[in-house]
Amino acid sequence: MAKNLESNTYTVLFASGMVIIVGALLAFVASSLQEKITENKRIEKQQNILYALGVNENDETSVEFVSKDIVGAEFSKYITKQLVISGTEAVEDPNAYLIDIKKEATEAKNPNYKRRLPLFVGEKDGVTLYIVPVRGKGLWDAIWGYIALDDQLVVQGVYFDHQGETPGLGSNIKERFFMDDFKGEHILDGDTFKGINAAKGNADPKNLDKMDFEVDAIAGATITGTGLSAMLKKDLAMYIPYLKTLKQ
Amino acid sequence: MGLLSKKDAKLITDPLADNNPITIQVLGICSALAVTAELKPSIVMAISVMFVLAMGSTVISLIRNIIPSKIRIIVQLVIAAALVIIVDQILKAFAYELSKQLSVFVGLIITNCIIMGRFEAFALANGPWKSFLDGIGNSAGYGIILIIVGFFRELLGSGSLLGYKVLGDAIEKTGVYAYGYENNGFMLLAPMALITIGIIIWVQRSRNTSLIEHN
């Protein structure tokens, strides 16, 4: 037996057997929990959209969503319309928030595919805001966010999140000090779309100039910041033709 | 402990104090610094590691006689990784916000030196029951330090415990804040976790001087 244990055949067989057993077990666990996880993600999406709209339970420095027991009701209360955009046209779709942005971006590589761009119209304190979902790449993995714009295309709130950016560095994109910097920033220079850059060597570290299309970057998170700027530039641009029709 | 023989009980009690994985063996430090800003993630992390280590040690010990020694490290990794994924999926399904808070650290349980260390040093050479106890003991020793650190960091850093504002409200100046007490935001940063662990090590060694290394 002892001799057998070290033979190559046995090693290969053992490895294969182990992989099959472990694989089957994990597949079983994943598929039986799938439904609950999807539901959690749906709730989180609603919380994120409401957060960008300014509906949250923040105190001075924390990031607190509305609780998940009331998020469904709050979502239907504040989000008045959900649209799917193509060019300057918009079609209403009550489940636009369920559109998978990642999937749409992949499908869009096929030139015949008509990409669906969800846009959420919310109303808070009498002001109508347009919330644009964005998705891009950070240093390690995906980053995404929701940008709330008013009808003059000025940012009124953002929420960013990430899959696996470095804790304490890139992960700070979801901290208040970074997200709050975006409030009041313009994305249009006259009629030209500029986006917003997370800029290093920023001449405006206190972020008083809201027309410079820049916020202060996070130290130690250069690639996450660059990815975030690129994400804003690329994904917001797709909505600009429609958003410009709002700006009279 | 009537249930356990003296030797078995030692497997659990030893790592709690005199052979603690964090303060004596200095293993598993990175996660101890990272997740302990609040008490709740510390507790969840402690439970997750306990699950992975106890289950993993038992499984490894059960198959220890049929593992080809050439690939034993890979086998250990696969078993630890599978258990970690199960923990991760369960957290995502039943404690979603917590799993977001722990983010990459759940995945990083697999790189926790304590896990591979106990698999390699103990489970491969001992029976399943002993290995199970050893896993429980070592993860409890790890968890207890996490919980102590989390307790002090959340209490002094945010003035709360498990999210309850036990010291009063910092903004409305009630409780101890009425007397001019302020939260120490520095406690929430990783360096203070290291200092807190340092203090625990200091206290432990000054109480039991036989733990002090002499060169």
**So what's the pLDDT on residue A248?**
66
**CA nearest B93 in A: which residue?**
A37
Joined tokens for residue A103:
């999937």
Q: When comparing pLDDT for B24 and B171, which is higher?
A: B24
**Best mutation site among B45, B71, B72, B192 for testing chain A: the one with the most A CBs within 10 Å?**
B71
Name the minimum distance, in Å, from the CA of B68 to any CA of chain A. 5
Is B93's CB within 8 Å of A40's CB?
Answer: yes
**So what's the pLDDT on residue B41?**
80
**So what's the pLDDT on residue B103?**
66
Task: Enumerate the domain spans of chain B.
Answer: 18-208
Is A60's CB within 8 Å of B171's CB?
Answer: yes
What ipTM does the predicted assembly reach? 0.72
Asked whether the beta carbons of B113 and A57 are under 8 A apart, the reply is no
Helix, strand, or coil (residue A248): coil
Q: Touching check for A12 and chain B: CB below 8 Å?
A: no
Alpha-carbon distance of B32 to B112, in angstroms, equals 10
Q: Nearest CA to A45 among A21, A73, A71, A24?
A: A71
**Best mutation site among A1, A40, A171 for testing chain B: the one with the most B CBs within 10 Å?**
A40
**Long-range contacts, stretch B181-188, CB < 8 angstroms, 24+ apart:** B183/B156, B183/B157, B183/B158, B183/B159, B184/B156, B184/B157, B185/B157, B186/B157, B187/B152, B187/B153, B187/B156, B187/B157, B188/B37, B188/B153, B188/B157, B188/B158
Q: Which residue has the tokens 């990031």?
A: A63
Is A164's CB within 8 Å of B89's CB?
Answer: no
Rounded to the nearest integer, the mean pLDDT of chain B is: 85
Is B69's CB within 8 Å of A6's CB?
Answer: yes
Q: Touching check for B62 and chain A: CB below 8 Å?
A: no
**So what's the pLDDT on residue A134?**
94
Is A22's CB within 8 Å of B79's CB?
Answer: yes
Q: How many CB pairs under 8 A join A and B?
A: 59
Q: Touching check for A69 and chain B: CB below 8 Å?
A: no
Name residue A188's beta-bridge partners. Answer: A193
Query: pLDDT tens across B22-37, in order?
Result: 888 788 887 788 778 8
Alpha-carbon distance of B107 to B109, in angstroms, equals 5
Q: Touching check for B1 and chain A: CB below 8 Å?
A: no
- Read off φ and ψ for residue A191, nearest 5 degrees: -115, -5
Which residue in the set A11, A26, A40 is minimally distant from B96, CB to CB? A40
User: Alpha helices, DSSP H only, in chain A?
Assistant: 2-5, 8-53, 71-78, 101-107, 176-179, 222-246
Query: pLDDT tens across B43-102, in order?
Result: 888 888 899 999 999 999 999 888 888 888 999 999 999 999 998 899 889 888 888 877
Alpha-carbon distance of B168 to B158, in angstroms, equals 11
Alpha-carbon distance of A235 to A237, in angstroms, equals 5
**So what's the pLDDT on residue A93?**
87
Asked whether the beta carbons of A158 and A179 are under 8 A apart, the reply is yes
Q: Nearest CA to A217 among A157, A164, A170?
A: A170
Alpha-carbon distance of B124 to B119, in angstroms, equals 6
Name the minimum distance, in Å, from the CA of B66 to any CA of chain A. 7
Q: Nearest CA to B23 among B114, B120, B84?
A: B114
Name the minimum distance, in Å, from the CA of A176 to any CA of chain B. 15
Query: pLDDT tens across A30-63, in order?
Result: 999 999 999 999 999 999 999 999 888 887 777 8
Ranges under pLDDT 50 in chain A: 1
Which DSSP letter does residue A146 get?
E
Task: Categorize the per-residue pLDDT at B1 as very low, low, confident or very high, splitting at 50, 70 and 90.
Answer: very low
Q: Nearest CA to B134 among B145, B146, B143, B122?
A: B122
Q: Nearest CA to A179 among A131, A219, A218, A231?
A: A218
Q: Nearest CA to B86 among B60, B43, B51?
A: B51
Q: Touching check for B74 and chain A: CB below 8 Å?
A: yes
Task: Enumerate the domain spans of chain A.
Answer: 40-246
Alpha-carbon distance of B46 to B146, in angstroms, equals 7
**So what's the pLDDT on residue A47?**
92
Alpha-carbon distance of A200 to B111, in angstroms, equals 34
* Distance set, CA B183 to CA A64, B61, B155 (Å): 19, 47, 9
Asked whether the beta carbons of A182 and A145 are under 8 A apart, the reply is no
Is A29's CB within 8 Å of B85's CB?
Answer: yes
Query: pLDDT tens across B112-155, in order?
Result: 888 888 898 899 999 999 999 999 999 999 999 999 998 998 88
Rg (chain B; Cα; Å): 19
Joined tokens for residue A162:
């990430």
Is A36's CB within 8 Å of B171's CB?
Answer: no
Q: Report how far apart the first and last C-alpha atoms of chain A are (Å, whole number).
A: 83
Name the minimum distance, in Å, from the CA of A82 to any CA of chain B. 26
Asked whether the beta carbons of B28 and B188 are under 8 A apart, the reply is no
Joined tokens for residue A21:
């057993």
